[in-house]
Amino acid sequence: METEVKKLNIDINEEEKKARELINKQGLRVLVCNGTGCIANGSNEVIEKFKELGADVGILEENKKMVTVPTGCHGFCEQGVLVIIPDFDITYVKVKPDDVEEIINSHIKDGKPVERLLYTDPKTNLHVYKNEEINFYAKQSRTSLKNCGEINAECIDEAIAKGAYRALSKVLEQNNPEAVIEEIEKSGLRGRGGGGFPTGRKWRFTAANRGGKSYVVCNGDEGDPGAFMDRSVMEGDPHKLLEGMAIAGFAIGADEAYIYVRAEYPLAIKRLRIAIKQAEERGFLGKNIMGSGFNFEIHIKEGAGAFVCGEETALMASIEGERGMPRPKPPFPANCGLFGRPTLINNVETLANVPVIIDKGAQWFSSFGTEKSKGTKTFALTGEVNNTGLIEVPMGTTLREIIFDIGGGIRNGKKFKAVQIGGPSGGCLTEEHLDIPMDYDNLIKAGAMVGSGGLVVMNEDTCIVEVARFFMHFTQNESCGKCVPCREGTKNMLKILEKIVRGDGEMKDLDTLEELALAVKEGSLCGLGKTAPNPVLSTLKYFRDEYIAHIKDKKCPAGVCSALKTYKINEELCKGCTKCARNCPVGAIEGTVKNPHKIVQAKCIKCGACIASCPFKAISLV
């Protein structure tokens, strides 16, 4: 293809310089995390307090003024509200509105850091000042999440100052879609939504149908429970996503795009809307972008709560206003997708990696990761670890590094038992897998998958059979009902798991469970059904003895399954304070004041409220 270099009417370097000057003029920047997690912890109140007290801060020679910048998610949600002052190279954690005055008076005015608000390393018990020295951040390399937590997502200049739209400007200037596709292919980027399909190849397939109307669709229907990286990108650095989409649109010859965002993410929807409007006003989206003649319009579609819509054909049906049900492939979306036109569907994180690949080159990107899985991957680290939150590490990082270095180990000194990777489509891995380098292929080999990147860590108190039941309940609930193997298979698998958890299981149930699992895996129409049995299969493989304990010994080794346990009050320890009886939601505890109480087992629903309420530790599980 012969291409001519184009002269653009916007000089992005000039724009970047101007944006930087604007930011420098702001003075001392106080970054307050304003992601969903920190908002729940009161970040809006902290921001208000800073604004209220910050006006008259006449401090520091160079910094005449102070400005509060609400940023996207910084990832360390557990320690919210996070306050970062980059000029002082300091990170404060768990900041409450009442702490703001002290930060301003002691640190900003007097230069004395407020030690009690610093992060304390659980291993050394020492205060940590610098962000990059906090164990949670030390081993990360943030690419797609880079700006999240550093910029105000609702202000386009902040993004431009960090290099937003530089990559788009580059491709429009060079005016060679083929070269863009080649660069993405060379980078080795693979789909971050779960499947790991090579992104460049997908672009090439769609670009082959260039000529008529085609679409770019961004899959922001992050339905996997336990994963929230896409939410963070959309909330924290929306321009990166928009830029990635525009580059994709240019490469495949599309002029219209949709972002499908799940309705559970209202803040992401709001910030994307603002970002699209600002980008259009500045000429980075819309008609004749930067004077190149390339048009690209992005719409937002709100989902309505259906997990299966994360599957690409179901997602397109949902955008068209129908029930979100998948259809057989082929035809693939690259040939016949949205409204019957060629369509490129990529996940949020995949698209967020595009600008940096174009900007820094495929070679830079592929210097991270393993041989077949390049770049970095975000993981949502949750469950029973000390540091929960969102992380980004090079592909090939081991689970041990993630859980014990970044995650700071298991909470309350408990023992690691398993980690569930990839949500309801993934599997449970055990101690023996802690040292395998995590990439697409190694995880598949171990019986799990990268999936969306949810990592839920479980300790010795987690019942694996109950977790398998939990996932099966989820997929059964979310099965759309179109194909029989998934609809009926998941239902029957769930029935068996419920039976085992109830203590009514028989040994032959395990065989049936395995047989059904394979049938559902083989026979289902879409990814939901094909992967639904994974949690069951992997737990049967690695924790079979726990299933057997439920079936043969009628015992739950973790002491979780309520049908297999009873609550008892120790008469010697009970002081008859009546607190348990008052807290029991079903009135199952009898007794008079100052006399030992008793639990009526027939009424007890085994909720555990009494254990939590007893001040004398007189109630226990037997």
Interaction of residue 448 with other proteins, rule CB under 8 A:
no
Taking the complex as a whole, how short is the minimal distance between the CB of residue 213 and other proteins, in angstroms? 15
- Torsion of the alpha carbons at 314, 319, 321 and 322, rounded to the nearest 10: -10
Interaction of residue 420 with other proteins, rule CB under 8 A:
yes
C-alpha atoms less than 13 angstroms from C-alpha of 521 in its C-beta half-sphere: 15
Stretch of 55-63, 187-195, 317-325, 588-596 lying at the interface with other proteins (CB under 8 A): 317-325
Q: Return the SS3 of 35.
A: coil
C-alpha atoms less than 13 angstroms from C-alpha of 280 in its C-beta half-sphere: 13
Q: Which of 201, 209, 161, 168 shows the shortest CA–CA distance to 184?
A: 201
Q: Exposed, middle or buried by CB within 10 Å (0-12, 13-18, 19+), for 578? A: middle
Interaction of residue 573 with other proteins, rule CB under 8 A:
no
Stretch of 36-44, 286-294, 350-358, 567-575 lying at the interface with other proteins (CB under 8 A): 36-44
Interaction of residue 620 with other proteins, rule CB under 8 A:
no
Please list every residue from 254 through 283 that binds other proteins, using CB under 8 A: 263-266
What length does the chain have?
Answer: 622
Please list every residue from 519 through 538 that binds other proteins, using CB under 8 A: none
Closest to other proteins by CB, 413 vs 585, is 585
Interaction of residue 242 with other proteins, rule CB under 8 A:
no
Stretch of 47-55, 202-210, 240-248, 462-470 lying at the interface with other proteins (CB under 8 A): 462-470
Q: Which of 221, 222, 311, 392 binds other proteins (CB under 8 A)?
A: 222
For other proteins (CB under 8 A), the number of binding residues is 63
Interaction of residue 546 with other proteins, rule CB under 8 A:
no
Stretch of 201-209, 224-232, 365-373, 507-515 lying at the interface with other proteins (CB under 8 A): 224-232
Helices (H), 222-347: 229-236, 238-252, 266-281, 312-319
Q: What totals of helices (H) and strands (E) does the chain contain, helices first?
A: 25, 19
Interaction of residue 447 with other proteins, rule CB under 8 A:
no
Q: Which of 126, 138, 304, 600 binds other proteins (CB under 8 A)?
A: 304
* C-beta neighbour count of 40 within 10 angstroms: 11
What are the residues whose beta carbons fall under 8 Å from the beta carbon of 17, sequence distance 6 or more? none
Q: Exposed, middle or buried by CB within 10 Å (0-12, 13-18, 19+), for 415? A: exposed
The β-bridge partners of 67 are 29
Interaction of residue 328 with other proteins, rule CB under 8 A:
no
Stretch of 199-207, 429-437, 571-579, 602-610 lying at the interface with other proteins (CB under 8 A): 602-610
Please list every residue from 370 through 399 that binds other proteins, using CB under 8 A: 380, 382-384, 388-390
| Cα distance between residue 241 and residue 602, in whole Å | 56
Taking the complex as a whole, how short is the minimal distance between the CB of residue 273 and other proteins, in angstroms? 13
The β-bridge partners of 569 are 619
| Cα distance between residue 411 and residue 255, in whole Å | 50
Tokens of 247: 């580059």
Taking the complex as a whole, how short is the minimal distance between the CB of residue 261 and other proteins, in angstroms? 11
Taking the complex as a whole, how short is the minimal distance between the CB of residue 388 and other proteins, in angstroms? 4
Closest to other proteins by CB, 330 vs 585, is 585
Q: Return the SS3 of 311.
A: coil
| Cα distance between residue 403 and residue 96, in whole Å | 28
Tell me which residues touch other proteins (CB under 8 A).
Answer: 36-37, 39-41, 76-78, 80, 222-228, 231, 263-266, 301-307, 318-324, 380, 382-384, 388-390, 420, 423, 454, 456, 458, 462, 467, 470-471, 474, 478, 480, 583, 585-586, 605, 607-609, 612-613
